[in-house]
Amino acid sequence: MAKHPAVDFDQLLKNQAADFSTVQILDEAGKVVNPDILPDLSDAELVDLMSQMVWSRVLDQRATALNRQGRLGFWAPTSGEEASQLASNFAMKKSDWILPGYRDIPELIQHGLSVAKAFLWSRGHVVGNEYPEDFHALPPQIIIGAQYVQTAGVALGLKKNGADEVAYTYTGDGGTSQGDFYEGVNFAGAFKAPAIFVVQNNGYAISVPRAKQTAAETLAQKAVAMGIPGIQVDGMDALAVYEVMKEAREFVAAGNGPVLIETLTYRYGPHTLSGDDPTRYRSKETDDLWQQRDPLIRMRNYLTDKGLWNQEQEDALIEKTKGEIKAAISEADQAPKQTVSRFLGDTYEQAPQNVTEQLAQYQAKESN
């Protein structure tokens, strides 16, 4: 009698991603393809969301130019990710805690950080990391994935304090290969901490394609191992991203534990402005394909059809944003120069004797 295998491994692999279809509301032309889940946003809110996305595109363009001029330090391009970033942030409350990665400056500014302070952070200036106590955010994390562990801790603290607040964070597809990703999500899941973990899948971890990062068909399905919900959403569709994030916040705030969201998006520029050349690992055909999926085109067409948006309105917003950025970089230029004594003073709460002596020496030099 022929022996039947106890496990059909091929079928198991097929089933793993079966429930992770992509949530979409607007197609590439900006037409509604899923009206049943259309978000309940007023006309004013729709215009506000579009305005934030246009603002973010201009911010990225101007920041890139400022970097090339030597007036700005580290910058990770964001063009193409406006829906993934700004629409997800739009669904959150100012009282919620955002723990951004280094590419998430637009969300951090819209959450309440001044553009000038964001520019100082880019320059590595200590003032760029000074936040008022009522601003619920941490400075952008440079260590890839570390913000996931931090988010689990902040979320658990919110739960223990009984706060009606949620912690949310972002990383890229490459970040899901880090141990901190699994540790943070698993910890939050085990303690049902109110956290939302967003994975912005832009296809490449610097130059490494997502397919070489993991054997999983989707990044959303990684949530299964942690026992929490995982959702995949069209990250170029602002309405879909907003609706998924809004519902995730409601679920998390109700005490049901964390949620993992994968947004399928694309960064049009390089990984950072520190020497990365995307033409070495991305084809023109791929770039052209994603340009057709531009989140601004979708929202622009959708709002234009509703009579809520026009080119004159957008041009005026672009000029206004350029002026605000010009003022912000001028403000950043006025920040006091950093000193060694400041660094030493910030490093120790109770400095050892040798550092105390060095501190005194530097303070004397800097006062002359």
pLDDT tens, N- to C-terminus, the chain (368 residues): 666 777 776 887 777 777 889 999 999 999 999 999 999 999 999 999 999 999 999 999 999 999 999 999 999 999 999 999 999 999 999 999 999 999 999 999 999 999 999 999 999 999 999 999 999 999 999 999 999 999 999 999 999 999 999 999 999 999 999 999 999 999 999 999 999 999 999 999 999 999 999 999 999 999 999 999 999 999 999 999 999 999 999 999 999 999 999 999 999 999 999 889 999 999 999 999 999 999 999 999 999 999 999 999 999 999 999 999 999 999 999 999 999 999 998 998 899 999 999 999 999 999 87
The Cα 251–Cα 286 span in angstroms is 36
Q: What is the pTM of this model?
A: 0.94
Cβ neighbours of residue 282 closer than 8 Å, sequence gap 6 or more: 204
19-336 CATH choice from 3.60.40.10, 3.40.190.10, 3.50.50.60, 3.40.50.970: 3.40.50.970
Chain centre to alpha carbon of residue 324: 22
Q: How far apart are the first and last CA of the chain?
A: 95
Count other C-beta atoms under 10 Å from residue 210's C-beta.
20
Please report, for the chain, the start and end positions of each structural domain, with discontinuous segments joined by +.
Answer: 19-336, 339-368
- Side-chain-side CA neighbours of residue 187 (13 Å): 16
Catalytic position from the list 136, 271, 293, 300:
271
Name the residue type at position 296: L
Known catalytic membership, residue 271: yes
| Alpha carbons 166 and 111: distance in angstroms, whole number | 13
**Distant-in-sequence, close-in-space partners of 236: CB < 8 Å, separation ≥ 6:** 28, 80, 83, 84, 264, 265, 266, 290, 293, 294, 295, 298
- Catalytic one of 62, 103, 125, 267: 267
Active site residue 281: yes
Place of tokens 């793993």: 16
Whether residue 188 contacts residue 223, with contact meaning beta carbons closer than 8 Å, is answered with no
Residue type, 312: E
Residues 6+ apart with CB under 8 A from 336: 127
Ramachandran class of 272: left when φ > 0, alpha when ψ lies in -120 to 50, beta otherwise? beta
Catalytic residue among 123, 281, 342, 362: 281
168 classed as catalytic: no
